[in-house]
Amino acid sequence: MSEHQDQPFDPNLPVRVDDAGPATGPNAGPAIPQRGRGRRRLSASMIIGASLVVLVFALALLSFIWTPYDPSVIDPAARLQSSSLDHPLGTDRFGRDTLTWIMYGARITLLVGIVAVGIALLVGTPIGIIAALFAQYPWGMWIGAVIMRANDILLAFPALLLAIIFAAVFQPGTGPAMVAVGIAAIPGFARVARSGTMQVLSSEYVRAARASNRSTPAIAVVHVLPNIAGMVIVQASVAFAISVLAEAGLSFLGLGTQPPVPSWGRMLQESQQFLSTHPELALWPGLCIALAVLGFNLLGDGLRDRFDPKMEARGDG
- Each residue of 216-256: pLDDT tens digit? 888 888 889 999 999 999 999 999 999 999 999 999 988 88
Mean pLDDT for the stretch of residues 262-288? 92
CATH number assigned to the domain with residue range 43-65+92-316, chosen from the 4 options 3.40.50.1820, 1.10.4190.10, 3.30.70.270, 1.10.3720.10: 1.10.3720.10
Tally the residues of the chain: 317
Per-residue buried b or exposed e for 283-306, using 16+ beta carbons within 10 Å of the residue's own CB: bbbbebbeebbebbbbbbbbbbbb
d(CA 61, CA 146): 43
Does pTM surpass 0.85?
A: no
Q: What are phi and psi of 23, to 5 degrees?
A: -65, 140
Query: Which ranges of the chain would DSSP assign to H, the alpha helix?
Result: 44-65, 98-135, 141-155, 159-169, 174-201, 204-211, 216-219, 225-252, 264-270, 280-307, 309-316
The pLDDT, as a whole number, for residue 140 is 78
Is 50 exceeded by the pLDDT of residue 214?
yes
d(CA 113, CA 108): 8
Mean pLDDT for the stretch of residues 59-71? 92
Half-sphere exposure of 84 (CA within 13 A, CB side): 10
More confident of the two residues 35 and 157: 157
Using pLDDT thresholds of 50, 70 and 90, give the confidence band for residue 299.
Answer: very high
d(CA 214, CA 70): 59
* Residues 99/226, Cβ–Cβ less than 8 Å: no
Q: Which of 28-42, 113-127, 168-182, 293-307 has the highest mean pLDDT?
A: 113-127
Is 70 exceeded by the pLDDT of residue 33?
no
Mean pLDDT for the stretch of residues 136-156? 86
CA trace torsion 100, 101, 102, 106 (10° rounding): 110
Is 90 exceeded by the pLDDT of residue 4?
no
Name the nearest CA neighbour of 285 among 304, 317, 257, 313.
257
Is 90 exceeded by the pLDDT of residue 265?
yes
Half-sphere exposure of 83 (CA within 13 A, CB side): 8
Mean pLDDT for the stretch of residues 170-192? 92
Domain chopping of the chain, boundaries: 43-65+92-316
